[in-house]
A and B are shown apart, each in its own frame.
Chain A
Amino acid sequence: MVKLLAPVLLLALVVAATMVSDRPLPRADFAFVNRGDVSTLDLQKMSWMQDLRVARMVFEGLVENDVFTQGYDVVPAVAERWDISGDGLTYTFHLRDNAKWTNGSPVTAHDFVYSWRRAILPDTAADYTKLFQLIKGAPEFADWRQAQLDAFPDRRFESDEARREAAEALWAETEAKFAEMVRLRALDDRTLEVELKQPTPYFLDLLAFAVFYPVYPPLVRQYESIDPATGLLKVAFGWTKPPHLVSNGPFELTTWRFKRDMFFERNPYYWNPDKLDVDTVLIPSINDPNAAVLAYETGVVDWVSDVTPAYRADMLADKAAFYEENRELVDRLQAEGLDQFEIDRRLPDDPRKNIHAVPAFATYWYNFNCLPTLPDGTPNPFADARVRRAFAMAIDKHAIVEDVMRLGNPVARTLIPRDSIGGYASPDGLESLGDATTEAERADIVRRAKALLSEAGYPSPDDLPTITILFNKDAGHDLIAQVVQKNWQENLGVDVRLEQKEIKVFRDDLKEQNFMVSRAGWYGDYGDPTTFLDINRKDDGNNDRKYHGVRYEELLDEAAVELDSERRMALLGEAERIIMEEDLPMVPLFHYVTIYLFDPDRVSGLNPHPRTTQNMFLIDLLDDGKGRDEARAMRPASAAGSQ
């Protein structure tokens, strides 16, 4: 009998041993589900929203955005003040003397030079290296380094040792070249000077973006080595995780277990301890959309930052019903100019108000291939802007938003979400089928679209080839494509075929222009129209449409050197008007929304601004006896003093 129990005892022993060795974490003041697992905390390499959100918790840049103002005002952070030269080219930042790393060392201007160099170096393969090319000398330096790296593997050496020495010599030369070529200097420990290629009104706003935050050089250098085979600067793994990570933000990352959780505590050396209203934060790794909602329902987390299960549309419908029940009060609060979270806070207690659809700084659209010929060598009808306009007009965007998406996405007539950038006036955009309120108006839009096709040399639908819509699997792209297919077939009489591919194959097809029409989307990176408009420049890596608008580029070039902010915004507005009303290389369908789940009566510090930047150091649990215990509300544009 004892022998029979041996396997049971053995298994029980294994369970006991693993449980004893696995220390449970304490309960955090605030817990939330991030958008996904953090991919990297290497600041210069990050690009995912969830990575950037955590980066803003544990690191701090020269400046930050006041996310509770409509204009996302730039406010001091590590830099207590800055000077801008009269020509708008030279920025001098004065760092505060009490900004410290989590090990107590001061944050210096040299740390920024080192960090920004990492992003400029092609070795790092940083997603956002292009943003750093605004700095004078940076593109030339990157090109020089790239040429050296391209040539290095083919160089012949007598021995492995000689190859290693050559790789290290190349690195030493690279450091010298950087100092010589790139106009980025630490004048002393507390003064950083940067000279730009051209005036860039949004440069300060860019600096609030986490890829411009500093890493701690003495730590990262331990992990760097020069690869003798390629000459590349390699960075080993490990420095971004506790107990090694050294950071300078309000929180310190104390535990990070892979795909399990991240635990944060106050950084004891942070220069502004009063900033925090919570002491600890937990991010459990919850990837299943249903589990995330259940985690909220069962009290494991206080906020779900991206609610994605299919039934979220029903949750929003419930919220709409709740609003309907309180219509009078809602209308009154909206008339007062309150933000949507503040309105929810003032409504009667009800669990239905915990779901929130927040407009995002992002747009979903359909690309038209603008090349003269299609991949099979046949003439491309979409090379003609009139054809593109006609097809764009024949889409019922309202049907997509209301019948397919059902999340309250704003219908898009422009590439840049309206009212998302302070001081920027959006163009009207092209009228399309869904804008019609009567059958007569619909018929008129269809008639005009057909006239455009006729003008372009396609008087009959039979003159056009079968139109193919390319999209990737999942996320409901197929349902959207079906609506568009139906619109084009019914209204223009053309034959439309749907083509669904795996994401990697889809991506390759886009890059090779192996499509006629394809789905696409874009999230803006920084608070300037160029974050959207630049992707339609002829040589931009994201111009999958291969659109080339001469006047469009002239306007962007003019705006790039325009010092007058108002005039610059007008130039950019005109550029957007051209692509949204005349040339239509893409047809915007709707703007994205982000769905949050949190109790507004309990949680404060989240904002409903379309740029959807949430700074976790602003979080306050109301009535928990810690911190301010006061709800924060968005200040309306008039009171925000926008840029």
Chain B
Amino acid sequence: MLGLVVRRLLQLPLIVLVIYTLTLALAWAIPGNPLENPEGRQPKPEVIAAMKRQYNLDSFPRFYASYLASATGFDYARDLLTGEIAREREKAEAAGEPPRQRYVFDFGPSLEYEDWTVNEIVRDSLPVSITLGSIAILIALGVGTFAGIVGAVKPNSLADLATLVVALVGISLPSFVIGTVLLLVFPVWLGLGEVGSSAGPQDMLLPAITLSLPFAAYIARLTRMGMIEALSTDYVRTARAKGVAERVVLLRHALKNAFLPVLSYLGPAAALAMTGSFIVERVFNVPGMGQHFVNGVQNKDLFLIIGVVLVFATMLVLFNLAVDVLYRWVDPRIA
């Protein structure tokens, strides 16, 4: 098990480097100048040229190398060793002001949001996305597993048909439709909850339900299939023959095996729920990270695009690793 973890963690930088290279190449190819604001007043061409030089936006190889140096902590280490960071601190102390924030892994400035670094953007929005995604997956697990069991226990019954229909709706209906309906029903018609607020956990409930539906539907189908298969195995028949209570047969014997496909689906599902919720974030005004990639591409905000992609890629690798570890723990035969 430890070997697996170490091996995967060692692979991580290589995977991230490949993703970085591909993403940067694609992002670089997007037409338009990220320093020009199409709707605002335009800086002079000379100023744009100087800023391009400053951010290394005038040369792909230079940008590639400089971003890598700051994002991997190379620049921080160099400034630490050359005493630059100490000098900055002294300067700040002399003026009686706190020293400016430095990051070890610095993803650079956002070109669109002038006062913000990508690190700050990730710091403020990632916890929101993680909370939203986690609640959504929890709901999906609960609803999906329950529906799957119900469907499997009485296949082709009315209950099974009902879960099938709900699952179909969950998968096929776009989240902006579901989200809008929920918004209309709860805050607008019933007066339950607020719109546009992100003050507390209660504000996460409707977006999390919306986000969870496709996942719940898929989990329901996976559980149903697994359970039907498990319920027809010899060990389940034996357990029933021995007079074990049906609840115990279902939950302890059948579900344990039926749940394995769900478990392997959880890694990518959790990563997707936490990173790919652009539409849900938009409809419910959730200040998560999903929107930043889309906005970054629209504005050709290179630093933001790459920063967000790197965070997403790392999350995906780590979630998959966590699931693999869990998988082996739940079913040691796999190791």
Contact = CB atoms under 8 A, between A and B. Distances in A.
B271 interface: no
A33 interface: yes
B243 interface: no
Contacts of A8: 138, 141
A142 B236 CA distance: 84
A221 B95 contact: yes
Interface of B is mostly: helix
A302 to B, nearest CB: 12
A7 B141 contact: yes
Contacts of A244: 97-98
B297 to A, nearest CB: 13
27 contacts: A1-B251, A1-B256, A3-B330, A7-B323, A12-B138, A19-B201, A22-B128, A24-B200, A39-B114, A42-B114, A122-B44, A125-B44, A227-B54, A229-B54, A230-B53, A232-B50, A232-B54, A241-B120, A258-B121, A258-B287, A259-B291, A288-B282, A294-B195, A295-B196, A298-B191, A504-B36, A541-B42
A24 B88 CA distance: 34
Interface stretch (B68-76, B129-137, B158-166): B129-137
Given A15-B138, A24-B199, A287-B282, 13 more contacts: A7-B266, A146-B46, A150-B46, A221-B95, A238-B101, A244-B97, A259-B125, A260-B128, A260-B198, A288-B283, A291-B285, A295-B285, A298-B188
Contacts of A300: 194-197
A45 interface: yes
A254 interface: no
Contacts of A541: 42
A8 B130 CA distance: 14
B100 A41 contact: no
Interface residues of B, number: 80
Contact of B116 (A33, A218, A258): A258
B38 A222 contact: no
B252 interface: yes
A11 B256 contact: no
Given A3-B329, A238-B101, A291-B285, A47 B131 contact: no
Contact of B256 (A4, A261, A506): A4
A66 B178 CA distance: 47
B96 interface: yes
Contacts of B188: 294, 297-298
A504 B31 contact: yes
Nearest to B259: A4
A372 B40 CA distance: 28
B129 to A, nearest CB: 10
Contact of A285 (B31, B92, B284, B287): B287
B270 A11 contact: yes
Interface in A267-301: 284-288, 291-292, 294-295, 297-301
Instruction: Give the contact-size bracket for chain A.
Output: 35 or more
A162 interface: no
Contact of B113 (A21, A37, A45, A299): A37
Nearest to B193: A298
Given A292-B196, A298-B194, A218 B285 contact: no
Contact of B100 (A15, A122, A222): A222
Interface string B3-46: 00000000000000000000000000001110010111111101
A240 to B, nearest CB: 5
Interface of B: 31-33, 36, 38-44, 46-48, 50-51, 53-54, 88, 91-92, 95-101, 109, 112-117, 120-121, 124-125, 127-128, 130-131, 134-135, 137-138, 141, 183, 187-188, 191, 193-201, 251-252, 255-256, 259, 263, 266, 270, 282-285, 287, 291, 322-323, 326, 329-330
A128 B41 contact: yes
B41 A47 contact: yes
Contacts of A25: 199
A503 interface: yes
Given A125-B51, A237-B109, A260-B198, A42 B115 contact: yes
Interface string A444-483: 0000000000000000000000000000000000000000
A150 B47 CA distance: 9
A643 interface: no
Contact of B40 (A42, A127, A229): A127
A39 B41 CA distance: 14
Contacts of B116: 237, 258
B252 A1 contact: yes
A1 B98 CA distance: 52
| Most-contacted residue by chain B among A127, A259, A503 (CB, 10 A) | A259
A11 B138 contact: yes
Given A8-B138, A11-B270, A234 B54 contact: yes
A260 B287 contact: yes
A514 to B, nearest CB: 15
A529 B191 CA distance: 49
Nearest to A124: B47
A238 B283 contact: no
Nearest to B329: A3
B115 A41 contact: yes
Nearest to B84: A225
A122 B46 contact: yes
A219 interface: yes
| Most-contacted residue by chain B among A22, A219, A222 (CB, 10 A) | A222
B202 to A, nearest CB: 10
Contact of A19 (B38, B91, B131, B291): B131
A295 B197 contact: yes
Nearest to B263: A7
Contact of B114 (A40, A229, A284, A504): A40
B130 A504 contact: no
Q: Which 10 A-B pairs have the closest CB atoms?
A: A295-B196, A294-B195, A260-B287, A40-B114, A127-B41, A258-B124, A125-B43, A504-B32, A286-B196, A18-B131
A262 to B, nearest CB: 12
Contact of A4 (B54, B255, B282): B255
Interface in A102-142: 122-123, 125, 127-128
A236 interface: yes
B280 to A, nearest CB: 11
B137 A219 contact: no
B176 to A, nearest CB: 10
Nearest to A153: B53
A292 B196 CA distance: 7
Nearest to B130: A18
B30 to A, nearest CB: 10
B115 A237 contact: yes
A6 B135 contact: no
Contacts of A288: 282-283, 285
A292 to B, nearest CB: 7
| Most-contacted residue by chain B among A15, A234, A239, A291 (CB, 10 A) | A15
A232 B51 CA distance: 9
Given A33-B196, A236-B100, A507-B38, A149 B50 contact: yes
Contacts of A19: 131, 201
B53 A238 contact: no
B138 A239 contact: no
A282 B6 CA distance: 47
A257 interface: yes
A222 B47 contact: no
B187 A287 contact: no
B253 to A, nearest CB: 10
A122 to B, nearest CB: 6
A222 B196 contact: no
Interface in A527-577: 541
Contacts of B115: 38-42, 237, 240-241
A14 interface: yes
A33 B197 CA distance: 11
Contacts of B285: 284-288, 291, 295
